[in-house]
Chains A and B, each alone.
Chain A
Amino acid sequence: MHRIIIFIITLFVCFHSSLYAGTGQPKTEKDSLQNDFVERKPLKRFYINGNYRGMLYYRNLSELFDGSYAEEKMLLSTNDGGRNPQLQLDISGRPTARTYFHTDIFLYSPMQGLGYNTNESGLSLGVNIDGNINTNHGNISFRLGGIQYTKLSRLSLWSSENNGESLFEKNPWDYFQTTAQNYESYYGQGTMLRSFRWGNQFVQGLTVTMNDIPGNFEAKALIAKTPNNGGQASYLNTIPDISYGGSVIRHFGQHYVGINTYQSISKSDSINGKFVGYRVYSTDFSVNLWDNDLTFSGEIAHGQNVQSSDMKMRTGNGIDAKILSRRNLLTFPITLHGYYIEPEFINLNGGFKTFLEDATGFNGEGGSSNPTGAYMSDVDYINGNRKGIDLRTEFNIAGLKINVASGVSQELEQRASTISYVHRINGLVFSRIFQYQSNIGPDSTFYTYFRGYYEERSIDTTHADFAGTPIHFAVSECNLKYKFFLFDKPVYVFYLASITTTQNDFSAIPVGKEKAFVHAHYHELEAYFTITEKLVLTSYLGYENINGNEVLQAPTLNSSRKFNQTGKSLGLGLDLVVGHLINLNLRTRWFTFNDTYSSDSHYNGFESSLEMKIFF
């Protein structure tokens, strides 16, 4: 019976139908909205660009402390330890004139010979979405997502800037270094093309900027997380941790006055927790006088903080002020800068180094990669629990550009039981060997952070030569830049040196080794020879010597109170322009480190990298 019915239906269909599919929409699809996107007009303003970085990295350590560290092994790698993928794609689109999104994808193959399962990929900066609202009362721009870069004021939300750094290592200037151009701009303009990140703090969340507000106001606001809000994976935390901040600025012609706040808010517990964190309130200003030659700027701030250890509210104040004369006063620029930051003025995201008594940090934040105690910093960096003043000037003598600076500072309270200082010369190398590690070395005194490492030594506060009063610091810097021509090709020579000391008494200049608890001097000499328009020979010579005296405690029972550490580095390399936006960079470096007072505190070796960078 069924077969007869099917036969009849088939006959009916064959004689009375014509088959077609393109002209009708089956009913079963009528309510499907799967075509929702497809039917929309395609996004026209859609962009993909990025860069490729192919790298071969070789490192061979002849010695590494007592030989017990696994990192002593020879290393062949496709990465020098930085976070640089081989391929990065930047994807962006502009759905409307007032909206925009951006994201990125990184791809990295470690080439370990174990197949594609070891390959890595993901998002580097993440997703950012921008919007802009124009009104008669101002323009509002906002960005949601992250990572994004922003700042408010130096004592509220800022990132320290230091222009005097080596150009030999290309990593710090990644994505921007075009062969020879950076050396010329560093000589000619005193700096190089910086990433947009320079001077900004990185955050994730919402940032809002308001411009053209009637009455010459502008404002910023943010609700965001920084890595100091619970770490790099705080989205997993059950304890809330967030930052709020904002600023309102009123312009008066060339002058302005602003008020700022930055607050890092957390709880002591995930259940019924109380407030811990810190709040900063500040006002800053800038006044331009004398035909805009003289700029007087500064900031006054008040801070409150609560630590989870005792839940007490503490307060502190900070002052930062600067006078800049561009030409009228001395015919060349001169900057006088002073600051006063009380120990309880806490802000891990400000443009100064918060005073951290020890590695436990502030509520567990900031201690792992920030030098603690009494930190011997460069001139451009300012510190908590410190008052100081520094002077910087720059002048030109027959093409020799001289930038010199000197600063003094003093602890406000003698609370630090440790002194910390950087090892600049081999900082990059050492931070590649030990990435983000603490208590390294034979005496467990080394700490690595992003592109550097520092050492921490304890003070013997009972020692007769330790006055027990707030410690004094002195630092002097010199940065020389010179350009000359050899066979009609430019040669750039840069010299960067600094001497820094810490001692009992005030001294306008760094004191001698016999008086200083720690005496450090660093020298970096670089020369860049332009062989052709597309080929530059690069060279680097670095030397540091750091001495500690008897006031310091011996790190272990068998080690010495005193130390005499010497770091040396010799580098050679080539920059080659392969094509438009395609560079090939070769770098080699021989490095040594030795402490004459410690039989195990030494390392030396060689590293080399060959890198091709293609921007598209």
Chain B
Amino acid sequence: MHTNLPYNMKKIHLILTFTFLCIASFAQNEKITFNGTTRGMMEHNWLPPSDTLNIDNNIGGDALVDLRLNILPIENIRVSATLRLKNEIGGFWGQGAGLELREIYIKGVAGKYFKYKFGDIDHKMTPYTLFNNEGEFSQFDPEIFNDIRSIQLQENFNYGNAWRQQGGMLSTRLGFDSFIHTSDLSAFVFRNRSLSDGVTPDRLQGGAQAYINITETSHIGINYINLFDLPKTVSNSEHEKYNNDVTSISMNIDASFFTIIGEAGTSGIHYIDTNNVNTINREGNFFEVGIQKTLKSNRLTLSGTFRRVSDDFFSAGAQSKRIDYSQTPELFETVSPNMYTRSVNLLDMIKDASVYNQTITPELMAYNPVYNHVTPYGQATPNRQGFTFKADYTDSLHTYTSQLGLQLLRNVRGEGTEELRNYILAQWDNKINLHTLFDLQKTLALTGGVQYARSDRDGLGLVSDVNLRSTSCDIGVEKELVNRFDVLIGAHYLVYKGTEYLSIRNEFNVITDYNLQTYDGTQGLYSMGFRYRFNDNIFLTLQGNQFNLFDAKNSDNDYQINQVFILFNLMF
């Protein structure tokens, strides 16, 4: 019989027991329904023949079914579980195959008043409290990248800006007869960490929101979230405790001519060591206020805000990054004549699910400045103040969609010097549906985007100047050749040059040192492929990618990755 099972046996049997109970129930009634995803992929990756020092070829793939059971025992309760059945291409007779519980939760309405959820929960609050910021360069992907990136997001439960958490949640709504419209109340507790190593205490994240909906379009809310340890989960004599709490008030007031938007709050990091001594108390604060105006029958939205995020504002739930730049990509770990361990590149962001982060972490995660050093932690990036302007436009026929963003920021406090950096981040993304514009029968769409990021600081001869610039542009074409058969083309080009200091922080995010880095290089990702759409949720695609990295400082760091893959993706 099969002896090399890849998953914990106990877990598997729990899963299976559960599954079979469900199946047994299914045989008796129709309170169980099925949805899910199934996907098969084969890919060939290779380095150019000029690379004679590294593992240079990789062929493989996998096939999987995510079977989602929706169980409705009674009208107000829904139990849902997703079971993954997967096998690797090249694993025969049980090798590389296994069962996995992807998610399980229950939700329902108690006593007609309270909504509850328990298990795996996707949750977000505000950009400063609990918010899963998009990964770099993920807005307005060319269609050829979008299909693939969406799979990585699905793999990592990155649905919108919500974080996938495990715990419980309760919410309700109060209806008012006068003064205000409604009020939404919710509270949650998630488990962030449980290691069972006898040393590390369990860590929870709890929070609550109370929103007063003055009208249907205006609200004021209070948000609170706290990431905290439970010392007693280690032993009764332990005192070590960490907590990071954030409290904010947010508002969205529709003032007929424009909307006032804003949020302000404080954060704290507190740490009690094993001797019950409070060694860390860091307080931070932020505010953001601005106006938003929607014009032309909701087709053009303009907004402008000013924000100030202090250098010691820390919010684990809002500053954890979606892409973990400390991860070594799965594909070709070492490259180039220098045989160095490469870092996450443009191709990995689209194709490698393993570089995505699924956990809220209290430490500011690593980032790669060449991708975005202006707002690496989203709006909640600490030590930033300045203006943000946005303009979003979509015409009534959805022929043209455009998003323009400009952030003019500055440090709140100098880092390593009293001089403050100035930042500019400009982003412009567009999509034109030419088939709508020219009344064509077949789809013809163009996407294009550009991002420009820069930081400047005069070193005054004491330290090196900061002058990092990075420019990224992408373009994509989607052309339907015959019914549902598309040709897809996409390219993403990134050029960067300059000097920047990277902060080295301790576990409480205190800067302990700086690392001077000089960048000068380019990255290019060029793709072409074909896609057949069975319907909106099912497609077959064949794609080829080439990624190039050129390091102008040392050409021995240059490398290229080539890739061809076929993917059959079904959502049902």
Q: Which residues of A contact B (CB under 8 A)?
A: 13, 16-24, 26-29, 31-34, 36-38, 40, 42-43, 46, 48, 79, 83, 85, 89, 91, 93, 95-96, 98-99, 101, 103, 105-108, 110, 116-117, 119-124, 126-129, 131, 133, 135, 142, 144-147, 202, 204-206, 223-225, 227, 229-230, 232-242, 267, 270-273
Docked-complex contact A107 and B16, CB < 8 angstroms: yes
User: Within the complex, what minimum Cβ distance (angstroms) separates B450 from chain A?
Assistant: 27
Docked-complex contact B172 and A121, CB < 8 angstroms: no
29 contacts between A and B (CB under 8 A): A13-B183, A16-B178, A16-B179, A24-B184, A26-B115, A26-B172, A28-B125, A31-B160, A32-B123, A37-B36, A40-B571, A43-B33, A48-B23, A96-B535, A108-B2, A119-B13, A120-B3, A121-B13, A129-B570, A146-B87, A147-B93, A204-B92, A233-B95, A233-B96, A234-B91, A235-B91, A235-B96, A240-B57, A272-B51
Digitize B89-127: 1 where CB-to-A-CB distance is under 8 Å, 0 elsewhere: 111111111110000010001001111000001111100
By beta carbon, the residue of chain A nearest B124 is A31
Q: A19-B172, A127-B63 are in contact. Are A34 and B572 (CB under 8 A)?
A: no
Q: Is the interface of B mostly helix, strand, loop or mixed?
A: strand
User: Within the complex, what minimum Cβ distance (angstroms) separates A94 from chain B?
Assistant: 9
Docked-complex contact B570 and A101, CB < 8 angstroms: yes
On chain A, the residues within 8 Å of B99 by CB distance are 105, 121-123
Docked-complex contact B90 and A233, CB < 8 angstroms: yes
Q: By the criterion of a CB under 8 Å from any partner CB, how many residues of chain B are at the interface?
A: 102
Docked-complex contact A238 and B97, CB < 8 angstroms: no
Docked-complex contact A21 and B40, CB < 8 angstroms: no
Q: Which of B185-215 contact A (CB under 8 A)?
A: 185-186, 209, 211
Q: A22-B112, A131-B568 are in contact. Are A272 and B35 (CB under 8 A)?
A: no
Q: CA A423 – CA B139 in complex, angstroms?
A: 66
Q: CA A205 – CA B565 in complex, angstroms?
A: 12
Digitize B160-193: 1 where CB-to-A-CB distance is under 8 Å, 0 elsewhere: 1110000000011111111110111110000000
Q: Which of B219-237 contact A (CB under 8 A)?
A: 219, 221
Q: Which of B1-59 contact A (CB under 8 A)?
A: 1-5, 9-10, 12-13, 16, 23, 26, 33-36, 38-42, 44, 51-59
Q: CA A38 – CA B89 in complex, angstroms?
A: 30
Q: CA A133 – CA B542 in complex, angstroms?
A: 15
On chain B, the residues within 8 Å of A93 by CB distance are 34, 38, 572
On chain B, the residues within 8 Å of A13 by CB distance are 174, 183
Q: CA A142 – CA B538 in complex, angstroms?
A: 14
Docked-complex contact B186 and A101, CB < 8 angstroms: no
Q: Does B61 have its Cβ within 8 Å of any Cβ on chain A?
A: yes
Docked-complex contact B112 and A31, CB < 8 angstroms: no
Residue among A21, A40, A270 with most chain B CB within 10 A: A21
Residue among A40, A79, A229 with most chain B CB within 10 A: A40
Q: Which of B386-439 contact A (CB under 8 A)?
A: none
Q: Does B159 have its Cβ within 8 Å of any Cβ on chain A?
A: yes
Segment touching A, from B65-73, B264-272, B441-449: B65-73
Of B5, B40, B162, B180, the contact of A129 (CB 8 Å cutoff): B40
Told that A17-B174, A127-B63 touch, could you supply 11 new A-B pairs with CB distance under 8 A? A16-B177, A32-B159, A37-B80, A83-B2, A106-B2, A129-B63, A229-B90, A233-B90, A233-B92, A234-B91, A242-B44
Docked-complex contact B16 and A131, CB < 8 angstroms: no
Of A31, A119, A237, A241, the contact of B162 (CB 8 Å cutoff): A31
Q: CA A234 – CA B109 in complex, angstroms?
A: 49
Docked-complex contact B540 and A234, CB < 8 angstroms: no
Q: A21-B172, A127-B85, A205-B61 are in contact. Are A43 and B35 (CB under 8 A)?
A: yes
Q: Does B64 have its Cβ within 8 Å of any Cβ on chain A?
A: yes
Q: Which residues of B contact A (CB under 8 A)?
A: 1-5, 9-10, 12-13, 16, 23, 26, 33-36, 38-42, 44, 51-61, 63-65, 67-68, 70, 78, 80, 85-99, 105, 109, 112-115, 121-125, 159-162, 171-180, 182-186, 209, 211, 219, 221, 482, 532, 534-535, 537-538, 540, 566, 568, 570-572
Of A89, A121, A233, A271, the contact of B5 (CB 8 Å cutoff): A121
Docked-complex contact A235 and B566, CB < 8 angstroms: no
Docked-complex contact B2 and A120, CB < 8 angstroms: yes
Of A36, A99, A101, A116, the contact of B534 (CB 8 Å cutoff): A99
Docked-complex contact A123 and B97, CB < 8 angstroms: yes
Docked-complex contact A232 and B95, CB < 8 angstroms: yes
By beta carbon, the residue of chain B nearest A226 is B92
User: Within the complex, what minimum Cβ distance (angstroms) separates A293 from chain B?
Assistant: 42
On chain B, the residues within 8 Å of A127 by CB distance are 38, 40, 63-65, 85-87
User: Within the complex, what minimum Cβ distance (angstroms) separates B252 from chain A?
Assistant: 10
User: Within the complex, what minimum Cβ distance (angstroms) separates B22 from chain A?
Assistant: 10
Q: CA A235 – CA B59 in complex, angstroms?
A: 8
Q: CA A120 – CA B7 in complex, angstroms?
A: 11
Docked-complex contact B88 and A122, CB < 8 angstroms: no
By beta carbon, the residue of chain A nearest B82 is A37
Q: CA A46 – CA B482 in complex, angstroms?
A: 31
Q: Which 4 A-B pairs have the closest CB atoms?
A: A145-B63, A42-B33, A144-B40, A126-B87
Of A17, A204, A272, the contact of B183 (CB 8 Å cutoff): A17
Docked-complex contact A105 and B34, CB < 8 angstroms: no
User: Within the complex, what minimum Cβ distance (angstroms) separates A241 from chain B?
Assistant: 7
By beta carbon, the residue of chain A nearest B121 is A34
On chain A, the residues within 8 Å of B56 by CB distance are 270-273
Docked-complex contact B534 and A123, CB < 8 angstroms: no
On chain B, the residues within 8 Å of A234 by CB distance are 90-91
On chain A, the residues within 8 Å of B570 by CB distance are 95, 99, 101, 129
Of A40, A105, A120, the contact of B85 (CB 8 Å cutoff): A105
Q: A16-B177, A26-B173 are in contact. Are A206 and B42 (CB under 8 A)?
A: yes
On chain A, the residues within 8 Å of B162 by CB distance are 31-34
Docked-complex contact A116 and B93, CB < 8 angstroms: no
Docked-complex contact A205 and B572, CB < 8 angstroms: no
On chain B, the residues within 8 Å of A145 by CB distance are 40, 63, 87, 89
Q: A29-B171, A48-B23, A117-B10 are in contact. Are A95 and B70 (CB under 8 A)?
A: no
Docked-complex contact A40 and B35, CB < 8 angstroms: yes
Docked-complex contact B572 and A40, CB < 8 angstroms: yes
On chain B, the residues within 8 Å of A36 by CB distance are 159
By beta carbon, the residue of chain A nearest B49 is A272
Docked-complex contact B89 and A204, CB < 8 angstroms: yes
User: Within the complex, what minimum Cβ distance (angstroms) separates A146 from chain B?
Assistant: 6
Q: CA A116 – CA B538 in complex, angstroms?
A: 39
Q: A146-B87, A225-B90 are in contact. Are A206 and B566 (CB under 8 A)?
A: yes
Q: A105-B85, A129-B40, A235-B96 are in contact. Are A28 and B209 (CB under 8 A)?
A: yes
Of B42, B114, B568, the contact of A223 (CB 8 Å cutoff): B42
Q: CA A3 – CA B344 in complex, angstroms?
A: 52
On chain A, the residues within 8 Å of B9 by CB distance are 116-117, 119-121
Docked-complex contact A144 and B42, CB < 8 angstroms: yes
Docked-complex contact B534 and A271, CB < 8 angstroms: no
On chain A, the residues within 8 Å of B44 by CB distance are 240, 242
On chain B, the residues within 8 Å of A129 by CB distance are 38-40, 63, 568, 570
User: Within the complex, what minimum Cβ distance (angstroms) separates A221 from chain B?
Assistant: 11
Of A42, A106, A206, the contact of B35 (CB 8 Å cutoff): A42
On chain A, the residues within 8 Å of B115 by CB distance are 21, 26
Q: CA A98 – CA B484 in complex, angstroms?
A: 14
User: Within the complex, what minimum Cβ distance (angstroms) separates A45 from chain B?
Assistant: 10
Q: CA A206 – CA B542 in complex, angstroms?
A: 12
Q: A22-B109, A27-B184 are in contact. Are A32 and B64 (CB under 8 A)?
A: no
Docked-complex contact B183 and A31, CB < 8 angstroms: no
On chain B, the residues within 8 Å of A106 by CB distance are 2, 94
Q: CA A128 – CA B537 in complex, angstroms?
A: 18
On chain A, the residues within 8 Å of B209 by CB distance are 27-28
Docked-complex contact A33 and B122, CB < 8 angstroms: yes
Docked-complex contact B98 and A123, CB < 8 angstroms: yes
Docked-complex contact B1 and A120, CB < 8 angstroms: yes
Docked-complex contact B93 and A131, CB < 8 angstroms: no
Docked-complex contact A235 and B60, CB < 8 angstroms: yes
Q: A28-B123, A124-B94, A235-B60 are in contact. Are A34 and B159 (CB under 8 A)?
A: yes
Q: CA A230 – CA B39 in complex, angstroms?
A: 24
